[in-house]
Amino acid sequence: LAPYLDEEMFAFSVPTDTLAGELVLGGVDESRFVGELQWIDVSTPHKYWQAALTSASIGAQPLGGSAAVFDTGTTLLVTTEANAWAFAGAIDAWCYDWVNATSSYDVRRCAEADAAAPFPDLVVAPCGAGDDLVFRFGAVEARVPRDQYLYGQDCDEALEFRDCRGVCWPNEYLSWIDDGYCDDGSAGIFLNCPRFDCDRCPQYDCIEDAADDACLLSVAADDSVGTWILGDVFFSATYVAFDHGNKRLGLAPLASGPAPVPAPTAPLSPEPS
């Protein structure tokens, strides 16, 4: 296709609540982003769309990593185990760790869990919790807002129930575990405080309104990647142009997303050792 394109470039945007997803060959669609594209160099041309990462952080919590791969074929944000644990702790999330020996989940605050253990697949936090996730590529800064890295659940209240922290589970799980009371997680995931009156177990931090305030974390951990992989969670806030001819990436905010801006000149917090 290259001989028929105006430029050796393609651009990608994922579907939003108001716009369909789009792939543009040979240029960009300026109606899909705000402002000017901010350009960063690709560090591994002809292999991955990877760029050198100056820093990453969530609120005041610095996160490790020296590179980021921009991958439209990945759904989540993927990072190291250490970063995932630090991320979850920074937003006061709850971790659901499956325990084979008891055929149940060990449920506890991620900040209090064993960070040497594998990061769990199921992590829940209040939907309003957490600051923007910030990536800095030299002089360019891109943000993933909390409503992108946390996503809500479509819970069918007729067929599912919510546990103390708002996670949806099928009703048949209640009879399977025979858990008719609130508890601290030792009996598994089936902590149906809204059904069995949350005031029976206030010491276990039942959220005030589970139906409106429980979101799941869109972050996966994999030490084998050795870097960040920025999937659709990142693209849901940022328009990305892939300039093959000049070996660079252009970043701009989607029409409804936050803009990449020049990084602050103040010294950044050191990465965790």
- DSSP code per residue over 137-188: ETTEEEEE-HHHHEE-----TTTEEE-TT--EEETHHHHHHT--S--SSTT-
Residue labelled with tokens 């025979």: 178
54: nearest Cα among 128, 111, 134: 134
* Per-residue model confidence as pLDDT tens digits over 30-74: 999 999 999 999 988 668 899 999 999 999 999 999 999 999 999
Mean pLDDT computed over 107-131:
87
DSSP 211: T
Mean pLDDT computed over 234-238:
94
Q: How many other C-beta atoms lie within 10 A of the C-beta of residue 159?
A: 10
- pLDDT value at residue 18: 75
Is beta strand 94-99 parallel, antiparallel or unpaired with respect to 104-109? antiparallel
Rounded CA separation 144/106 (Å): 29
Mean pLDDT computed over 203-231:
77
DSSP 88: H
Rounded CA separation 175/204 (Å): 22
Cβ contact 222:238 at 8 Å: no
Q: Which ranges of 4-161 does DSSP label H, i.e. alpha helix?
A: 81-90, 146-149
Neighbouring C-alpha atoms within 13 Å toward the C-beta of 130: 30
Rounded CA separation 51/243 (Å): 13
- pLDDT value at residue 89: 95
- pLDDT value at residue 28: 94
CA 260 to chain centre: 18
Sheet holding 215-217, edge to edge: 104-109, 94-99, 122-125, 215-217, 150-151
Through-space distance between the first and last CA atoms of the chain, rounded to whole angstroms: 46
Neighbouring C-alpha atoms within 13 Å toward the C-beta of 116: 0
Mean pLDDT computed over 173-190:
48
Structure tokens at 201: 């177990």
Q: Is the pLDDT of residue 228 over 80?
A: yes
Cβ contact 95:108 at 8 Å: yes
- pLDDT value at residue 4: 67
